[in-house]
Amino acid sequence: MDYRRFGLPDFRSIPQRDYLLALLSGALYALSFPRAGLWPLAWIAFIPLFLACRHKDPGRAFRVGFVAGLGGFGALLYWLNIVMTRYGHLPVVISLLLFLLMVAYLALYPAATLYITRWAEIRGVSPLLVFPLAWTSLEYLRSLALTGFPWGTIGYSQYTVIPLIQIADITGVYGPSFLIALANTVLFLALRRGVRGATYRWPVAGATLLILLLAGTLWYGFHRLHQSPDGATLKVALIQGNIPQDVKWDPAFQEATVKIYERLTLQAAAAGPLDLIVWPESAAPFFVQEEPQLSARIGTLAREATCGMIVGSPALERDGDRMRYLNSAFFFTPTGQVGPRSDKIHLVPFGEYVPLARLLPFVHKMVEGIGDFVPGSKFVTFPTGKGDAGVLICYEGIFPELARGYIRQGSRFLVNITNDAWFGRSSAPWQHLSMYAFRAVENRVPVVRAANTGISSLIDSTGRIADTTPLFHEAVLVGEIRLTNLVTFHTLHGELFIHLLSGGFVLLLVAVARRKRDRGQEFTR
């Protein structure tokens, strides 16, 4: 087949060995994330990809990077097929096509990174200067484009390396991402120079910079870890009802669901005085505003436990003859009254609403139950008596700006209520959980997480995941969290670090574009 005749890239022009190296990079990248959790692999994951891109023009480097992206994101996000087939009820063929389309879109980012790196190198600019800036900046772009999808940002792979991730209260997750990209580049260039016996000028300079940055990051991390929280202590109970996704919205199962949560809540209250009880996302399968008898039963539980309760439930608002549905969390006061309501601001495309619904009338959302949701418009905090709580619903917690918004609104800790039953027994629940360690560090606040089928957990202000529940079990998790009185750089200034990094990247591109092409450059300079 003549690919050029149809304006398509000729993938056959690249040796199979290079594609295998690209797939190896993708595998190392995916394995560095949960559930495999082999986090050291992230620090060498790009080396096979760099080797595959040697001597190639930018177009061929783009293709190699695209294959690496297909392999990496394909292995990382395989669970999307579980969501689409089991719960979205899509045919397997359609699910695979949509999955490949999603993965192909995500693969464009590493492909573009390799294109830019080779393009700059041909003009005499070292990958040490280009690749870390390009990789991190395009990760950030991916978190914004098309409503944003920061899942798989490589810094998240380090969530268990507690001293390293403390820098996130300044840089967010992009600090670790930048260090990983820089380390991969330094190691590859050092290896190539060592084999060829050439000058060590750039590798030595890069290695020196890397060592200084790592040393500074770890010093800062241990310094932060030695600072003890000095705020109030709250005793929290997380209720994991383990309601199967396929019966969650079945009216015939409504009473059974309420009884399960009543029983588990009374069990938690028996453990002693509590400051807060948390039910997961959509734990109450009814409209709190429209079902006074069922709502009163939740109020009775709050009154008997003498503490506030956060309960996930859909909400509705009437706009004339039109009904607006929201994915919400309700606060029940210790006296049993329904208090403020917090609505989910960042909805899941095709999960909670259909983008461009008028143009795609044949596409339906995958969430079973009520109609399309509309987003909330403001940050609402819940008073617990010892500190306000900000509630992140479902995957809202993967967006740092939402967590920061609640903290700036006065929250002293974060609550995540979620329903990860969609993911089945895949690695996705662990991947989802890992990102909340960064939300805790970025704002120096504890995070409590109640999940319908797990993983429910308590995360302290250093990002340590202290306690967790097993998947697909009824569970009650009771523990203490300690608040802090720190206000972090990240809380005050947001993603200033990555904004500066991305600004530097753009300036670098302008400077490179003005340089003359040097065909003698290869991926070892």
The domain locations on the chain are 7-226+494-513, 233-314+327-345+379-485
- Band of the pLDDT at 89, cuts 50, 70, 90? confident
% residues pLDDT > 90 (the chain)? 76
Tell me, what's the pLDDT at 272?
A: 85
Read off the pLDDT of each residue in 96-112 and give the average, rounded to a whole number: 96
Told to judge if 281 belongs to the known catalytic residues of this protein, a careful annotator would answer yes
Per-residue pLDDT averaged across 177-203, rounded?
77
Residue 250 pLDDT: 82
Which pLDDT score, from 0 to 100, does residue 247 have? Answer: 82
Q: Which of 484, 413, 405 is nearest to 449 (CA)?
A: 413
SS3 string, 44-96, reads: CCCHHHHHHHCCCCHHHHHHHHHHHHHHHHHHHCCCHHHHHHHHCCCCHHHHH
Q: How confident is the model at residue 521 (pLDDT cuts 50, 70, 90)?
A: low
* Amino acid 191: pLDDT: 85
Give the up-direction half-sphere exposure of residue 450: CA atoms within 13 A in the CB hemisphere: 33
Instruction: Name the pairing type of β-strands 308-319 and 381-382.
Output: unpaired
Catalytic residue status for 365: no
Residue 212 CA to residue 190 CA, distance in Å, equals 17
Report whether 344 contacts 376 (CB < 8 A): yes
Confirm if 300 and 293 have CB atoms less than 8 A apart.
no
CATH architecture of 233-314+327-345+379-485: 4-Layer Sandwich (3.60)
User: What tens digit of pLDDT does each residue of 227-245 get?
Assistant: 888 889 999 999 999 998 8
Q: What is the pLDDT of residues 207-230, one digit of tens each?
A: 999 999 999 999 999 999 998 888
Query: Which of 367 and 15 is assigned the larger pLDDT?
Result: 15
Rounded average pLDDT over 406-432: 95
What pLDDT does residue 193 have? 67
Beta carbons within 10 angstroms of residue 474's beta carbon: 17
Higher local confidence (pLDDT), 138 or 517: 138
Q: What local confidence, expressed as pLDDT, does residue 364 receive? A: 53
In angstroms, rounded to a whole number, what is the distance separating the alpha carbons of residues 300 and 427? 37
Q: Which of 394, 396, 442, 495 is the catalytic position?
A: 394
Between the alpha carbon of residue 60 and those of residues 18, 65, 315, the distances in Å are: 10, 9, 51
Alpha helices in 226-345, H assignment, sequence order: 254-269, 292-305
Strands 233-240 and 276-278: parallel
The residues with which 413 forms a beta bridge, in sequence order, are 389
Q: In this structure, are residues 368 and 340 in contact, taking their beta carbons and an 8 Å threshold?
A: no
> Mean pLDDT over residues 97-120, rounded?
97
What per-residue confidence (pLDDT) applies to 358?
A: 52
Q: What confidence tens digit (pLDDT) does each residue in 462-509 have?
A: 999 999 999 999 999 999 999 999 999 999 999 999 999 999 999 999
Does the pLDDT value for residue 49 go beyond 50?
Answer: yes
pLDDT higher than 50, residue 197: no
Residues 340-383: pLDDT tens digits? 999 999 988 776 766 655 544 545 555 555 557 899 989 999 99
Residue 223 is which amino acid?
Answer: H
pLDDT at 199 over 50: no
Of the listed ranges 43-57, 448-462, 511-525, the one predicted with least confidence: 511-525
Q: Which residues of 310-336 are buried (b: 16+ CB within 10 A; e: fewer)?
A: bbbbbbeeeeeeeeebbbbbbbbbbeb
Residue 318's pLDDT is: 83
Q: Which of 56, 248, 344, 365 is catalytic?
A: 344
Burial (CB count within 10 angstroms: exposed 0-12, middle 13-18, buried 19+), residue 234: buried
Task: Check if 259 is active-site.
Answer: no
- Among 139, 281, 352, 396, the one annotated catalytic: 281
